[in-house]
Amino acid sequence: MASKKSPLSSFQSIQQYHNALLNGSTSCVESVEFFLRQIEEKKQLNAFVQLFAAEALEKAKALDNARSKNGALKKLHGVVVGIKDVLCYKDHKVSAASHILDGFTATYNATAIQRLLDEDAIIIGVCNCDEFAMGSSNENSRYGPTLNAADNTRVPGGSSGGSAVAVQAGLCMISLGSDTGGSVRQPADFCGIVGLKPGYGKISRYGLIAYGSSFDQIGIFANNIPDLAIALEVMAGADEYDSTVSFTPIPSYATELKKPLAPLRIGYFGETLNHPGLDQEMSKTISTFISGLSKYGHEVKPVDFGLLEYIVPAYYV
């Protein structure tokens, strides 16, 4: 593997990476090699449970050769991706971090995975998670716990903790998780990165091992919102294999982000900020953030919600 310092050590965005590819200051092969080194150096975090090193390098070489001939880049050209161990990737093992599925090999690609591959993404490996995505700390896995890269004595959140740490620790560019009741949003928060649970049906669930099918949604971890927007744009949209998927046309989310933001009406649950279960430091920080939104011309008001105490019991049912 290359020993020189890679521009990937200061990776900021997919756009920056693509610019580096086009000006010749890096390559897809160098990118894969860099992240493989990072994964090895930080293996104590236990973020990845499978690596596809040879396969990823082979695809990187093919992309580099193709790029040198035509210069055109697909939306995720050479982008190095980690996937949660609940997504089917054809001819690769998937276990939902459980001994129950030992030796099971996926026979098809999840729609989300296929769409990543169609846009020339490179899947470098499979990320750890709570068994069958049931957990919120990523401590309950047949592979052992995943550690928070910021503080190894802390949990990274779950169930998509491995996918979150993979981005947090710089082990890949973006990663996929799944979210039923917070399994992308919570670990993104714990790890200080960007995480999105799209609206239900925005991304096809075909090829996702189910937890609660009426809640499940494939989610995305990234270093920034533009990268997340590109990934969502690629994966979202109608799919004949998922009867619950939305058929609403998918806009160019990345382009939409560049447009000026009109003033918004924003509501929040006032009861949550005064709830005795909320840490006072968190309450103060959130309140300050809410107050700051009005400075940008947004209308921000509390919304009464008298059923707060029933949310968690209803979710468990």
Q: Is the pLDDT at 198 greater than 60, yes or no?
A: yes
The Cα–Cα gap between 252 and 168 comes to 26
Segment 235-266, tens digit of pLDDT: 999 999 999 999 999 999 999 999 988 899 99
Are 182 and 198 in contact by the 8 Å Cβ rule? The answer is: no
Kindly report the CA angle at 207 between 29 and 234, in degrees rounded to 5?
55
> How far, in Å, CA of 303 to CA of 287, rounded?
14
User: What pLDDT band is residue 177 in, cutting at 50, 70 and 90?
Assistant: very high
Q: Point out the catalytic residue in the list 183, 197, 202, 246.
A: 183
Percentage of the chain exceeding pLDDT 70: 97
Which of 150-168 are b and which e, b meaning 16 or more Cβ less than 10 Å from the residue's Cβ? eeeeebbbbbbbbbbbbbb
Percent of the chain with pLDDT over 90: 84
Contact 255, 226 (CB under 8 A): no
Q: Is 308 exposed, middle or buried (0-12, 13-18, 19+ CB in 10 A)?
A: exposed
E strands of the chain, at which residues?
Answer: 48-51, 80-84, 122-127, 174-179, 194-196, 217-222, 265-269, 299-303
CA torsion 236-240-244-250 (nearest 10°) is 30
Give the distance, in angstroms, between the CA of residue 33 and the centroid of all CA atoms in the same chain.
21
* Residue 174 bridge partners (DSSP): 81
Q: Does the annotation count 95 as an active-site position?
A: no
What integer is the mean pLDDT of 169-180? 98
d(CA 195, CA 175): 10
Cβ within 8 Å of residue 280, ≥6 positions away: none
What is the C-alpha separation between 248 and 47, in angstroms, rounded?
A: 35
Marked catalytic residue, from 42, 84, 197, 202: 84
Question: Which among 159, 160, 178, 246 is annotated as catalytic?
Answer: 159
Task: Using CB atoms within 10 Å of the CB of residue 283, give its burial: 0 to 12 exposed, 13 to 18 middle, 19+ buried.
Answer: middle
> Higher model confidence: residue 236 or residue 272?
236
Nearest residue to 168 (alpha-carbon basis) of 274, 45, 310: 45
Least reliable range by pLDDT among 160-169, 178-187, 251-260: 251-260
Residue 84 annotated in active site: yes
> Residue 129 has which token pair?
């998670």
Determine the pLDDT at residue 23.
92
Which of 29-43, 65-79, 92-106, 221-235 shows the lowest mean pLDDT across its residues? 65-79
- Mean pLDDT along residues 274-280: 88
Is 183 among the residues known to form the active site?
A: yes
Q: How confident is the model at residue 1 (pLDDT cuts 50, 70, 90)?
A: very low
